[in-house]
């Protein structure tokens, strides 16, 4: 399907294998990052045309029709820009890749109205895509507060849609590093288990056969006395996916207080090891998960781009201590 970048305009050609369906439904499948309500609004305001003519949302798409989408200017943002330093790995007119520090919240929410990555991005960029709404401008994907590493941010809606499509079609490669408890029974493994919201705590996820498909692959890079160092590759990108999948195997991420990677691990340890681990918890106060490698195809140039973030200082130090310890 053709999708050339042209200002804030996206053109799609209906593929030969496309089933006959309503325009709004077809576009909701193609533009996975755009809500159906926004698609309907753009159709009603003639910002979406088919072969150059205005149509209704109920229009049945035909093979080889050209759909032109003229994204509206971004809505005014309620989020305040803040001159917070950013570690920018790459930037051009369409996007930027940021190395997020551990402890930084990605976007404003209840209890975190300022000091977020979005606040910092608004101070740095003249424009960000509006696909994610007025609270999440530019954000194609997210990282948990305690997780460090690479994020790609879109400056315009067309770039955002194209990157989100790569993400939904599993064409954006994301590789992580993690320190976990225990030693997995296999040196490499593919974890496939659907995830859903926890019924009693909506901030948590759990294994749920009725949830969304999720798959993670890991390889053991090193083993210490009671922990392991893993490389992980996301096949899907569900909320808390790596943390829940590893916890379900009995190897939660070190320091993950939500999914069993902290206090629960002290049970059964001798006194010396309990003291040693508690010292580590006091020194390293986050879960040890890092988004290290990010690969995607640039929507404007079609160049395959790969970025790598060095392991953060706290994870390097923890690994050094764990490898040196005999406790």
Can you name the residues that pair with 74 across neighbouring β-strands?
A: none
Nearest to 270 by CA among 327, 232, 192, 216: 327
Coil, helix or strand at residue 253: strand
Report the alpha-carbon distance of residue 69 to residue 49 in Å, rounded. Answer: 7
Classify residue 37 by burial, with Cβ atoms within 10 Å: 0-12, 13-18, 19+.
Answer: exposed
Residues in the chain: 327
Give dist(CA 40, CA 43) in Å, integer. 5
Residue 276 CA: distances (Å) to CA of 46, 98, 142, 264, 271: 65, 34, 33, 15, 9
CB 309 within 8 A of CB 291: yes
Clarify whether 201 is annotated catalytic.
Answer: no
* Cα–Cα dist 165/232, whole Å: 22
Among 2, 44, 46, 144, the active-site one is: 144
CA–CA–CA angle 72, 12, 132 (5° rounding): 40
Helix (H) or strand (E) holding 325: none
SS3 content of the chain, % helix, strand, coil (to 5): 25, 30, 50
Q: In terms of Cα–Cα distance, which of 288, 203, 265 is closest to 240? A: 203
Beta bridge partners of 293: 175, 308
Helix, strand or coil, per DSSP, at residue 281: helix
Instruction: Tell me if 146 sits within 8 A of 114, measured CB to CB.
Output: no
Contacts of 179 (CB under 8 A, 6+ apart): 227, 228, 229, 230, 253, 254, 288, 315, 318, 319, 322
Instruction: Point out the residues that are catalytic.
Output: 144
């Amino acid at each position: 399907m053709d999708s050339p970048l042209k200002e804030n305009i996206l053109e799609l050609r209906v593929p030969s294998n496309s089933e006959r369906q309503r325009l709004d439904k077809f576009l909701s499948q193609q533009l996975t990052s755009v809500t159906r309500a926004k698609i309907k609004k753009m159709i009603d305001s003639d910002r979406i045309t088919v072969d150059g003519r205005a149509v209704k949302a109920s229009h049945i798409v035909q093979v080889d029709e050209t759909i032109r989408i003229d994204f509206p200017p971004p809505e005014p943002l309620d989020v305040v820009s803040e001159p917070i330093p950013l570690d920018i790995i790459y930037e051009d007119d369409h996007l930027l890749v940021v190395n997020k520090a551990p402890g930084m919240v990605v976007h404003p929410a209840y209890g975190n109205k300022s000091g977020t990555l979005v606040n910092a991005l608004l101070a740095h960029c003249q424009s960000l895509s509006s696909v994610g709404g007025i609270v999440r401008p530019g954000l194609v994907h997210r990282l948990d507060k305690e997780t460090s590493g690479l994020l790609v941010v879109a400056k315009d809606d067309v770039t955002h849609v194209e990157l989100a499509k790569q993400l939904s079609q599993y064409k954006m490669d994301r590789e992580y590093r993690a320190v976990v408890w225990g030693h997995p029974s296999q040196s490499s493994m593919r974890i496939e288990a659907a995830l859903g919201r926890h019924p009693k705590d909506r901030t948590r996820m759990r294994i749920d056969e009725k949830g969304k498909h999720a798959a993670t692959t890991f390889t053991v890079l090193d083993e210490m006395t009671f922990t392991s160092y893993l490389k992980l590759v996301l096949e899907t990108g569900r909320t808390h996916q790596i943390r829940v999948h590893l916890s379900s195997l009995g190897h939660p991420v070190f320091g993950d207080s939500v999914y069993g990677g902290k206090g629960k691990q002290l049970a059964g340890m001798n006194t010396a090891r309990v003291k040693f681990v508690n010292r580590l918890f006091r020194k390293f106060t986050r879960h040890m998960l890092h988004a290290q490698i990010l690969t995607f195809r640039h929507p404007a140039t079609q160049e395959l781009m790969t970025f790598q973030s060095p392991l953060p200082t706290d994870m390097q130090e923890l690994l050094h201590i764990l490898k040196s310890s005999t406790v």
